[in-house]
A and B are shown apart, each in its own frame.
Chain A
Amino acid sequence: MIGLILRRLIQLPLILAIIYTATLILAWKVPGNPLENPEGRRPAPEVVAAMKAQYNLDNFWSFYFSYLDSATGVRYLRHELSGESRQQREQAIAAGRLPPEQPIFDLGPSLSYREQRVNEIIGSALPVSMALGALAIFFALILGVSAGVIGAMKPNSFADVATLSLSMIGISLPSFVIGAALLLIFPVWLGIGRIPSWGTPLDMILPAFTLSLGFAAYIARLTRMSMIEQLQSDYIRTARAKGVSIRGVVLRHALKNALLPVLSYLGPASALAMTGSFVVERVFAIPGLGQHFVNAVRNKDLFLIIGVVLIFSTFLVLLNLAVDVLYRVVDPRIE
């Protein structure tokens, strides 16, 4: 087990390096100039050239390595060891200025939000998305597993068809429709909740519910499928023959095994949910990370694109690792 965890953690930087390279190549190829506004007046060519030089945007390889240099903390270490940071600090203080701030892992400035650094953006957005995503996955589990179990108990019954259709609707209805409808019903008509929907824990319920529906539908289908399979297996029949009640069989024996596929789905699902959803964040005006995935690409904000992609990849790797570990806990047979 510890070997597995260590192996995966050693793989992580390698995976991130590959993803970084691929993302940067793609983002670099996106047409357009991140230093220009999407509309209106263009800055003078000399100004653009100077800014490009400042951010290393004029050369792919110098950008590639300077980003790696600062994002991995190598630059910080180098400057600390060579005494350059100390010198800069002293010089700044001597000139009556504030000493420059030097984060260890510097993900760079944002080109579209001029007054934020990528570290700050992710720092403020990630906890929001994580909380919302965790709650959404929790809702999805409750909704999905119970719907799946109800359906599996009597396949092709009314309850089964009803839950299946509901989950179909959950998968097909885009969240901007559900989100807007929920906003209209609760805050606008009933006066429950508010827009923007962020600030108090209660505010999280509507967006988390909206976000959970897609996942819940998928979980319901997974649960139903594997539950039906489990209920037809021999050990269930044995248990029933021994006189265990249906409720006992389902809850104590079948569900435990039926949830294994759900568990493997939970890894990527949690990574998705916890790194934010563009649509849900937009409709409910939530300051999460999802909007930056889309907006950063639209603005060709290289630093932000790479920052959010790396965060998402890290989440994906770590949560998959967590799922693998949980697998072993749930089912000791798995090596």
Chain B
Amino acid sequence: MFRLLAAFLVIALGIAATLAVSTPAPRADFTIINGGDPTTLDPIVASWLRDIRLMRCLHEGLVRSDVTKDDLPIEPALAERWEVSPDALTYTFHLRAATWSDGTPLRSTDFVYAWLRGTLPDSAADYTSFFFHIAGARDFFDWRTAALAAFAKQPQTSTAAEQLWQHTKSTFRAMVAIQTPDERTLVVTLARPAPYFLDICASVAFVPVCESIVSRYEVVDPGTARVKWDTGWTRAAPSIGAMRLDSWRFKREMRLAKNPAYWDAANVRINSMAILSIDDPVSQAMAFQTGGVDWVSDVVAPFRAEMVAAKNAFRAEHAAAVDALRAKGLGPAEIDRALPADPRKNTHIFPAFGTFFWNLNCSPNLPDGRVNPLADARVRRALALAIDKRAVADGVRRLGEATAGSLIPPGSIRNYTTPAGLSRDPDAARRLLAEAGFPNGSNFPTIELLINKEQNTDLVAQAIAKDWERELGITTAIIVRETKVFREQVKNANYITSSASWFGDYPDPTTFLEINRTDDGNNDRRYSSKAFDALLAKAEVETDPAARAAILADAERILVEQDLPLIPIFHYVNLNLFNPDRLEGISSNRRSEQQLFRVRMRTEDSPASRREGAGGRAAAPTRIAPQSSNLSVPPTASRGVLAPAPHAPNPTDALPTAIAIVENRNSPQRSQRTQRKTRALASSSSSSSYPCSPVSLRVLRALRGKSPSLRVLRALRGETPSPEAKP
């Protein structure tokens, strides 16, 4: 028996030992939790925000958005300049002399190849329609679709499939208006003027891929003649972006390394980046607390409302300083940086490019044959007017989200003014309902609120149902369904009202508005308005950007002030966790776009600065003294202390006298591991009221500081409380 146990032990330890061969790599300069595991690294397939964030590091397009500015202006990227013809149809891009990370020079044909991939009907690309802006792309798509259908009818051989693919490539060049006069020039002619074409060029779907490598991964299916790319290509292809893929260990971590061949490599401050795969929201927060993670992108821990409350309390304690800093034009993270150290300031609430709304089914009859009272726009308007959105945002969500009058988050799209929408007016709502034939809600059928079990919308639904019952006198029923059933029901308009949300894909109002077009695949509300469709069609051909924006604003006004196929409830925020004293470069723009290669670690204990800072100054620990009157410090100046910021005119000129160089927290001699631990201890022990913990945790933490055994343990490990642990 015991021999048996011993044998078992040997087996168990044997397996463990074989696994132990994969010892963890040294800590990366910048370690993040990016919402979840990457789904794909294929730029034409990526549609998740978290995937797109990684794409921004690995790829780059002709142009890019400047994420440091709130309205994200377009700036040159792989194209160093471009010209637009007077008719706004032809764009001539002049590429810079860039090379891929394997040394291959970038050619204009790399764009052609990438855009061919994006236009093909073979691949299930979300953004194929983006390419239809280019003249001939739509025709090519239809031609290829027909060719594939014809192929399916013939006797299928692999030779014929191969020939069709070669023919397709030459047809693409012939049909689609993309010219490559030389290796560094790309001329694109549009089907019709699109003032937002540069914004589309900045999207991830339009980045080039290295043709010479990626074409080796083509797989032509002999049965259907469809082309796909063996998924191995994303791991093998060289990068044109700031980082290159170092390793991707599924469900463990992904590592990116700095791409020395990147054209702007001088401004990339991190040499390595690790993306950890931690799915559990509580474990994510704990990983940040232990110091193992520098940035958590989307915090969804159950106690996040408490985190937001603590952050707001912290801001309130320093209200005067915050106002002064804001008046100087500082961004939210920069304001936090100038405030005294406090773990509560690690929570960051940034706007997201998305809106939560309530779907109202507009079809005349429900699938089960019932007459739909919501087919009447007056009823829908009444339902919208009755909802207390403030109560939903502040009482239920408690994340500091702005209530929504419009579908598009205000200020998120350059030169576009969102309509105000309806504000709460229960009296008007009752009048409208009476007009529609239901005075005081009499004879009104029970309104069902369909929600998704996994999206935590139950309390929001209850708040809305309560408003409708109280203000309009109608009866409601909340129906909870599991995600897949929910999706099916909403897609088939098998509901009366349901929760819903939408996030913008590209910076144009159509990214939100088109889901209400009559024939759109995402029109779950079965909303059909001739006036609305006509405005969208009119905007499509309008060449003047200002006039076009006005037309689209009119269209949105129909949605949110007249017809109400959906009731906007609130605009989402994005909760981030990072220590502003250690990390800078996380953007707070209105579209939650990040270019993570722009980040920099500020303290000396980041390996990056240690490696970079061979000279004394960069390695010297610096921090703005919290007490000193440093409110006048411009943001670039504080960056300039460590190393000159890329675009600061002259950092030393900008340095006011108020900056004090403060003694650093950890002496450089200590091992990195101890520093991490100490940091974790320091941050938690200085926080008797640390925000992101439920009461029980807080109690335990309070006990921790007083427990003698733990103090002994710490003493044994040779740790002394760091100076900042005692404020």
Partners in one complex: yes
**A residues whose Cβ falls under 8 Å from a Cβ of B:** 30-33, 35-48, 50-51, 53-54, 87-88, 91, 95-98, 100-101, 112-117, 120-121, 124-125, 127-128, 130-131, 134-135, 137-138, 141, 180, 183-184, 187-191, 194-196, 198-201, 204, 255-256, 259, 282-285, 287, 291, 298, 300, 326, 329-330
Q: How far is the CA of A282 from the CA of B502 in the complex (A)?
A: 28
The residue that B684 contacts in the complex, of A39, A96, A188, with Cβ under 8 A, is: A188
A113-B124 contact, Cβ under 8 Å, with A41-B505, A97-B218, A188-B290:
no
Closest 9 CB pairs of A and B: A32-B484, A199-B24, A134-B12, A287-B251, A191-B677, A195-B287, A285-B278, A115-B231, A131-B15
Shortest CB distance A334–B (Å): 15
Shortest CB distance A67–B (Å): 16
The residue that A114 contacts in the complex, of B42, B289, B521, B704, with Cβ under 8 A, is: B42
Tell whether, in the assembled complex, residue B124 and residue A128 are in contact, meaning their CB atoms are under 8 Å apart: no
Q: A40-B47, A200-B20, A204-B16 are in contact. List 5 more A-B contacts (CB 8 A).
A: A98-B217, A98-B232, A138-B9, A180-B286, A190-B713
> B8 on the interface (CB 8 Å rule)?
yes
- Chain B residues near A138 (CB-CB < 8 A): 8-9, 12
Q: What are 9 A-B contacts defined by CB distance under 8 Å?
A: A42-B521, A47-B121, A47-B128, A87-B158, A98-B217, A98-B232, A100-B230, A137-B8, A191-B677
- Chain A residues near B218 (CB-CB < 8 A): 95, 97
- Chain B residues near A298 (CB-CB < 8 A): 483-484
Q: What does the 1/0 interface line of B154-167 toward A look like (CB < 8 Å)? A: 00001100100000
- Chain B residues near A188 (CB-CB < 8 A): 286, 289-290, 680, 684
Tell whether, in the assembled complex, residue A189 and residue B701 are in contact, meaning their CB atoms are under 8 Å apart: yes
Shortest CB distance B456–A (Å): 13
Tell whether, in the assembled complex, residue B487 and residue A50 are in contact, meaning their CB atoms are under 8 Å apart: no
Q: From residue 36 to 53 of chain B, which have CB atoms closer than 8 A to chain A?
A: 37, 39-42, 45, 47-48
- Chain A residues near B23 (CB-CB < 8 A): 199-200
Q: What does the 1/0 interface line of B479-510 toward A look like (CB < 8 Å)? A: 00001110110010000000001110100000
Q: How far is the CA of A116 from the CA of B248 in the complex (A)?
A: 11
The residue that B276 contacts in the complex, of A45, A47, A196, A284, with Cβ under 8 A, is: A196
Shortest CB distance B713–A (Å): 7
- Chain A residues near B11 (CB-CB < 8 A): 134
Tell whether, in the assembled complex, residue A96 and residue B216 are in contact, meaning their CB atoms are under 8 Å apart: yes
Q: How far is the CA of A113 from the CA of B253 in the complex (A)?
A: 15
Shortest CB distance A213–B (Å): 17
Identity of the chain B residue whose Cβ is nearest the Cβ of A37 in the assembled complex: B47
Tell whether, in the assembled complex, residue B279 and residue A285 are in contact, meaning their CB atoms are under 8 Å apart: yes
Q: How far is the CA of A300 from the CA of B40 in the complex (A)?
A: 18
> B292 on the interface (CB 8 Å rule)?
yes
**B residues whose Cβ falls under 8 Å from a Cβ of A:** 1, 4-5, 8-9, 11-12, 15-20, 22-24, 37, 39-42, 45, 47-48, 121-122, 124-126, 128, 145, 158-159, 162, 215-219, 221-222, 224, 226, 230-232, 234, 249-253, 276-280, 282-283, 286-287, 289-290, 292, 483-485, 487-488, 491, 501-503, 505, 521-522, 677, 680-681, 684, 697, 700-701, 704, 710, 713, 717
The residue that A30 contacts in the complex, of B1, B145, B484, B697, with Cβ under 8 A, is: B484
Tell whether, in the assembled complex, residue B286 and residue A195 are in contact, meaning their CB atoms are under 8 Å apart: yes
Tell whether, in the assembled complex, residue A35 and residue B124 are in contact, meaning their CB atoms are under 8 Å apart: yes
The residue that B487 contacts in the complex, of A36, A121, A184, A196, with Cβ under 8 A, is: A36
The residue that A53 contacts in the complex, of B128, B215, B224, with Cβ under 8 A, is: B224
Identity of the chain A residue whose Cβ is nearest the Cβ of B17 in the assembled complex: A201
Q: How far is the CA of A283 from the CA of B217 in the complex (A)?
A: 37
Tell whether, in the assembled complex, residue B485 and residue A259 are in contact, meaning their CB atoms are under 8 Å apart: no
A282-B226 contact, Cβ under 8 Å, with A91-B162, A134-B12, A199-B23:
no
Tell whether, in the assembled complex, residue A100 and residue B219 are in contact, meaning their CB atoms are under 8 Å apart: yes
- Chain A residues near B48 (CB-CB < 8 A): 37
Tell whether, in the assembled complex, residue A115 and residue B216 are in contact, meaning their CB atoms are under 8 Å apart: no
- Chain B residues near A43 (CB-CB < 8 A): 124, 126
Shortest CB distance A94–B (Å): 9
Tell whether, in the assembled complex, residue B216 and residue A98 are in contact, meaning their CB atoms are under 8 Å apart: yes
The residue that B124 contacts in the complex, of A51, A95, A96, A137, with Cβ under 8 A, is: A51
Q: How far is the CA of A189 from the CA of B289 in the complex (A)?
A: 9
Identity of the chain B residue whose Cβ is nearest the Cβ of A95 in the assembled complex: B162
Tell whether, in the assembled complex, residue B16 and residue A101 are in contact, meaning their CB atoms are under 8 Å apart: no
Tell whether, in the assembled complex, residue A124 and residue B249 are in contact, meaning their CB atoms are under 8 Å apart: yes
Shortest CB distance B413–A (Å): 18
Shortest CB distance A98–B (Å): 5
Shortest CB distance A257–B (Å): 10
Residue in A35, A137, A194 whose Cβ sees the most chain B Cβ within 10 Å: A194
Q: How far is the CA of A201 from the CA of B14 in the complex (A)?
A: 11
Tell whether, in the assembled complex, residue A300 and residue B251 are in contact, meaning their CB atoms are under 8 Å apart: no
Q: How far is the CA of A36 from the CA of B280 in the complex (A)?
A: 23
Tell whether, in the assembled complex, residue B488 and residue A31 are in contact, meaning their CB atoms are under 8 Å apart: yes
Tell whether, in the assembled complex, residue B124 and residue A91 are in contact, meaning their CB atoms are under 8 Å apart: no
Identity of the chain A residue whose Cβ is nearest the Cβ of B40 in the assembled complex: A114
The residue that A191 contacts in the complex, of B222, B485, B488, B680, with Cβ under 8 A, is: B680
Tell whether, in the assembled complex, residue A134 and residue B39 are in contact, meaning their CB atoms are under 8 Å apart: no
Q: How far is the CA of A100 from the CA of B47 in the complex (A)?
A: 27
Shortest CB distance A31–B (Å): 5
- Chain A residues near B20 (CB-CB < 8 A): 200-201
Q: How far is the CA of A199 from the CA of B20 in the complex (A)?
A: 7
Tell whether, in the assembled complex, residue B250 and residue A45 are in contact, meaning their CB atoms are under 8 Å apart: no
A195-B292 contact, Cβ under 8 Å, with A188-B684, A255-B1:
yes
The residue that A184 contacts in the complex, of B226, B483, B503, B697, with Cβ under 8 A, is: B697
The residue that B1 contacts in the complex, of A187, A198, A330, with Cβ under 8 A, is: A330
Identity of the chain A residue whose Cβ is nearest the Cβ of B123 in the assembled complex: A47
A88-B277 contact, Cβ under 8 Å, with A114-B40, A124-B250, A259-B1:
no
The residue that A115 contacts in the complex, of B42, B252, B484, with Cβ under 8 A, is: B42
Shortest CB distance B589–A (Å): 20
Tell whether, in the assembled complex, residue A196 and residue B1 are in contact, meaning their CB atoms are under 8 Å apart: no
Tell whether, in the assembled complex, residue B287 and residue A196 are in contact, meaning their CB atoms are under 8 Å apart: yes
Tell whether, in the assembled complex, residue B251 and residue A124 are in contact, meaning their CB atoms are under 8 Å apart: yes
Identity of the chain B residue whose Cβ is nearest the Cβ of A189 in the assembled complex: B704
Shortest CB distance A80–B (Å): 16
Q: How far is the CA of A315 from the CA of B250 in the complex (A)?
A: 23
Identity of the chain A residue whose Cβ is nearest the Cβ of B505 in the assembled complex: A41
Shortest CB distance B655–A (Å): 37
Shortest CB distance A269–B (Å): 12
- Chain A residues near B232 (CB-CB < 8 A): 98, 101
Shortest CB distance B141–A (Å): 10
Tell whether, in the assembled complex, residue B277 and residue A287 are in contact, meaning their CB atoms are under 8 Å apart: yes
- Chain A residues near B24 (CB-CB < 8 A): 199-200
Q: How far is the CA of A31 from the CA of B216 in the complex (A)?
A: 38
The residue that A39 contacts in the complex, of B159, B279, B501, with Cβ under 8 A, is: B501
Identity of the chain A residue whose Cβ is nearest the Cβ of B24 in the assembled complex: A199
Tell whether, in the assembled complex, residue A97 and residue B217 are in contact, meaning their CB atoms are under 8 Å apart: yes
Q: How far is the CA of A188 from the CA of B276 in the complex (A)?
A: 17
Shortest CB distance B614–A (Å): 30
Tell whether, in the assembled complex, residue A45 and residue B16 are in contact, meaning their CB atoms are under 8 Å apart: no
Shortest CB distance B512–A (Å): 12
Q: How far is the CA of A134 from the CA of B484 in the complex (A)?
A: 35
Residue in A39, A125, A300 whose Cβ sees the most chain B Cβ within 10 Å: A39
A282-B279 contact, Cβ under 8 Å, with A40-B47, A199-B23:
yes
Q: How far is the CA of A256 from the CA of B1 in the complex (A)?
A: 6
- Chain B residues near A127 (CB-CB < 8 A): 15, 18-19
Q: How far is the CA of A222 from the CA of B443 in the complex (A)?
A: 63
Tell whether, in the assembled complex, residue B485 and residue A32 are in contact, meaning their CB atoms are under 8 Å apart: yes
A291-B522 contact, Cβ under 8 Å, with A31-B485, A36-B487, A196-B287:
no
